[in-house]
């Protein structure tokens, strides 16, 4: 799975290509946090990377999201990463990507272990099929609403809900037909209404700051006003 902070890198420029092939990722094949074997890197962005890994003892596939070392000195970035872990840990819902572990690797890199989702984003589906069948759209929307209702009951407002952050996992029904199981992802800029600070004490939001994707913001969010469910 990929998300806003783990977008696959596109073709390199000719200047970058002349520098030779990229260095091998030292995490590939390594066992990190004494329990996860990194299998491959599936996405990367300005803040970090996302890997597919296997829990050594449980033989279970998970996704590992890491925060780049150079980002550790930025309190707001580190707090956002911790906030995502905290929000996902609170949320136990079938339509939310589950967080299973959080901590630091041997070199100090922060990581978040998550449920591995084998599916496609709603954005990818809409790019191919701009108009979904009404019944399919209704089923997707009901699951999103169920996930958000649970989040709001726990004092969590997503603040970046958009097609890119909605994963659709195909599931075969009893009649043999496929249906979509929704997984809401990326709580990196979620608002925790019952606290202003993350696990390490950093302030999680600053008055007057606007965070999110403009096309999908509520009016109050776009105006840096108080947001709620």
Of 5, 25, 107, 160, which residue is the catalytic one? 160
Report the 10 Å Cβ neighbour count for 33: 16
Expressed in angstroms, the distance from the first to the final Cα of the chain is 26
- In this structure, the strands spanning 48-55 and 60-67 are antiparallel
Q: How far, in Å, CA of 182 to CA of 219, rounded?
A: 26
Q: How far, in Å, CA of 5 to CA of 221, rounded?
A: 20
Q: Please give the structure tokens belonging to residue 7.
A: 């977008």
107 is catalytic: no
Strand, coil or helix: 171: strand
Q: Which residues are the active-site residues? A: 160
């Amino acid at each position: 799975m990929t998300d806003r902070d783990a977008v696959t890198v596109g073709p390199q420029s000719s200047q970058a290509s002349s520098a030779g092939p990229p260095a091998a990722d030292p995490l590939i094949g390594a066992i990190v946090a004494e329990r996860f074997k990194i299998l491959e890197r599936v996405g990367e962005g300005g803040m970090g990377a996302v890997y597919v890994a296997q829990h050594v003892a449980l033989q279970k596939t998970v996704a590992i999201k890491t925060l780049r070392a150079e980002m550790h000195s930025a309190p707001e970035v580190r707090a956002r990463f911790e906030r995502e872990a905290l929000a996902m840990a609170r949320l136990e819902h079938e339509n939310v990507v589950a967080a299973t572990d959080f901590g630091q690797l041997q070199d100090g890199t922060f990581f978040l272990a998550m449920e591995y989702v084998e599916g496609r984003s709603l954005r990818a589906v809409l790019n191919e099929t701009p108009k979904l069948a009404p019944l399919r759209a209704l089923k997707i929307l009901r699951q999103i609403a169920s996930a958000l209702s649970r989040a709001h009951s726990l004092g969590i407002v997503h603040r970046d809900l958009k097609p890119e952050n909605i994963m659709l996992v195909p599931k075969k029904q009893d009649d043999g037909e496929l249906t979509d199981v929704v997984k809401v992802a990326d709580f990196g800029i979620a608002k925790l209404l019952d606290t202003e600070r993350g696990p390490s004490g950093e302030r999680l939001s600053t008055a007057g700051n606007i965070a999110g994707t403009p096309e999908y913001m509520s009016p109050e969010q776009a105006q840096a006003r108080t947001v709620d469910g």
